[in-house]
Amino acid sequence: MLDLIPSLGTWAPALAGQPFAVATIVRASGSVPRPVGTSMLVSADGAILGSLSGGCVEGAVVAAALDVLDDGVARLETFGFSAADAFAAGLTCGGELDVHIEPANLDRTCPLGEAVRQLAAYGPDEPVALVRRLDGRAGGGSSAVVLPDPGSPGVAGHPGLAALLEGSQGTGRAPAALLGSFLRSGATGVLDLAGAGLCAGGAAVLVESRLAPPRLLVFGANDFSAALLPAAKPLGCRMTLVDARPAFASQARFSAADEVVTAWPHQYLAAEAAAGRVDSRTVICVLTHDPKFDIPLLETALGLKVAFIGALGSRRSHAQRVHSLLDRGVRPERIAQLHSPLGLDIGAVTPAEVAVSVLAEIIAARNPAASHLPLRETSGPIHQTAEPSTPAPAKAPAPTNLLQQEIAWT
């Protein structure tokens, strides 16, 4: 549902309190184009907002949604590829989706309808979470709670969640603790409350949590950063360009950055880390290619817990960096985490091509299983969407929010 926030504020049926149906992916397997949590809204007069599969199953989902509005009964539908009938509603890419479809605004006290209206007031980058208790039985609906600050330490104690979880028997950890883990990590997934499984008629909680955008810190005001910043914009991160030279940093060509800072790079990074504005999702790209900036900056960066540290330059430059960092006492195992020379080997030459190469490595780094090969030379599902499951106590679930997925490591 969170993916629809940019459009909810203009979708009249929800805002006017008219009946509509919410169709949400609650399980995805195989090669599917959209992840768990993706929603589509269908009004009684056939108005549609959103998409679940890019066209493969939309028609069948709309028909089911209209049926739900007619009888007021929520249902769980499965859509998958059908080799026997090429005209059947299915996912031609070979995957399978479970879609939970339920009505909203059929009465004046509809928690889901109210939650949609609350979400319409949020901006596309504001942190927010939607928690819905689903029921897999025929006629089961959901309760819903909107949380404005899912990353806060006490989020699991929100009073609205207590009512939503009432009567739940969690497995392993208490349901509230499981829920808190999802929320604080900015993850999306389905928590099975009783072990029966939603498809088997059990109850479950769908958690969609979005934290503040991860940061992309780009050091060095030059042709490469001028190309990288606009190219990285669709990844949904907050971008900062830092350079110690005012004449370079003040150029209009860096307007794609959310902020431009004139400061010594290592001093700026240390101050941001001390203020708590650098975290495990932060991406650092060092493009200055000047040892007097690079070495103290990399020494500072390698002492932090961040998602990615990369430095542009030749193999000779990299060797010199390693030697200098070792001389400054940086441990070899930390230096091994440095992505240098930065970028995937795609034959990039121009700044625009280098930007693609750099972003490709950033995206690939969040998925160690990536082959880096052309898709035609690989096999198996293209869209590696994991089965929703209860997270293990020691590790938070991986995020699936589309805007943050590209560079949001946990």
- Statement: the pTM of the whole predicted model exceeds 0.75: no
Domain boundaries, the chain: 2-210, 215-365
Q: Residue 229: what pLDDT?
A: 97
Q: Is the peptide bond before 150 cis (omega within 30 degrees of 0)?
A: no
Alpha-helix runs per DSSP H in 242-396? 246-249, 265-274, 291-301, 315-327, 332-335, 351-365
Position 179 confidence tier, pLDDT thresholds 50, 70, 90: confident
Radius of gyration of the chain (CA): 23
Q: Residue 395: what pLDDT?
A: 37
Lowest-confidence pick of 32-41, 62-71, 236-245, 261-270: 32-41
For 261, the 3-state DSSP assignment is strand
Q: Residue 304: what pLDDT?
A: 97
For 289, the 3-state DSSP assignment is coil
Better pLDDT: 222 or 183: 222
Q: Give the pLDDT mean for 315-341.
A: 95
Q: Residue 154: what pLDDT?
A: 82
Q: Residue 315: what pLDDT?
A: 93
Residues 202-221 have pLDDT tens digits of 568 899 999 989 999 999 99
Answer yes or no: is pLDDT of 137 > 70: no
Answer yes or no: is pLDDT of 86 > 50: no
53-72 burial code (b ≥16 CB/10 A, e <16): beebbbebbbebbbebbeee
Per-chain mean pLDDT for the chain: 83
Amino acid at 84: A
Position 399 confidence tier, pLDDT thresholds 50, 70, 90: very low
Between CA 234 and CA 359 the distance in angstroms is 11
The architecture of the domain spanning 215-365 is: 3-Layer(aba) Sandwich (3.40)
In this structure, are residues 60 and 33 in contact, taking their beta carbons and an 8 Å threshold? no
Better pLDDT: 391 or 32: 32
Residues 354-375 have pLDDT tens digits of 999 999 999 999 887 777 778 7
Token look-up 């902020």 returns: 259
Q: Give the pLDDT mean for 3-17.
A: 91
Q: Residue 321: what pLDDT?
A: 95
Q: What is the DSSP string of 25-80?
A: EEEEESB-SS-TT-EEEEETT--EE--SSTTSSHHHHHHHHHHHHHH---EEEEEE
Residues 104-122 have pLDDT tens digits of 998 878 899 999 999 999 9
Q: Residue 368: what pLDDT?
A: 76
Position 58 confidence tier, pLDDT thresholds 50, 70, 90: confident
Between CA 106 and CA 86 the distance in angstroms is 36
Q: Residue 387: what pLDDT?
A: 42
Token look-up 């603790």 returns: 177
Position 168 confidence tier, pLDDT thresholds 50, 70, 90: low
